[in-house]
Amino acid sequence: QVQVVESGGGLVQAGGSLRLSCTASGLTFAGYAMAWFRQAPGKEREGVSCISWYGITTYYDDSVKGRFTISRDDAKNTLYLQMNSLKPEDTAMYYCATKTGWRDRCSGSWSHTATYNHWGQGTQVTVSS
């Protein structure tokens, strides 16, 4: 049984930083691409960033490029999202997800929620102005 658990969210002032973590168990973590999504109240869930198996490739939504960095530690079955220069519009529930397909490289469909099969419960990030 696959379990995905996010942590690290909180309240931060604009311009501040947070690091989110996500641990996944019940699967061969190193062989799967992983991603972060977020969902603000009244909005659809959107892709933030994806990292391929073994960290070969990474993708970012344009809104976070240059501010967020995705990384993974396969020895710890853990995914990270370092978020710098946070803005009030980054406020959302952040979700971690495992991408379907062995050794996926986060192809062009990386931001489509249907291509992910295991999701965490989310961690709230609130950025005050």
Average pLDDT of the segment spanning 24-41: 96
Task: Give alpha helix (H) positions in 56-114.
Answer: none
CA angle 73, 79, 85 (to 5 degrees): 115
Average pLDDT of the segment spanning 28-46: 96
Structure-token match 């062995």, residue found? 102
According to DSSP, the residues that pair with 128 across neighbouring strands are 13
Tokens of 68: 């967020």
Q: Which of 19, 45, 46, 9 is nearest to 123 (CA)?
A: 9
Q: Which of 105, 98, 114 is nearest to 34 (CA)?
A: 98
Over the stretch 5-20, which tens digit does the pLDDT of each residue have? 999 999 999 999 999 9
Share of the chain above pLDDT 90, in %: 94
Average pLDDT of the segment spanning 92-112: 92
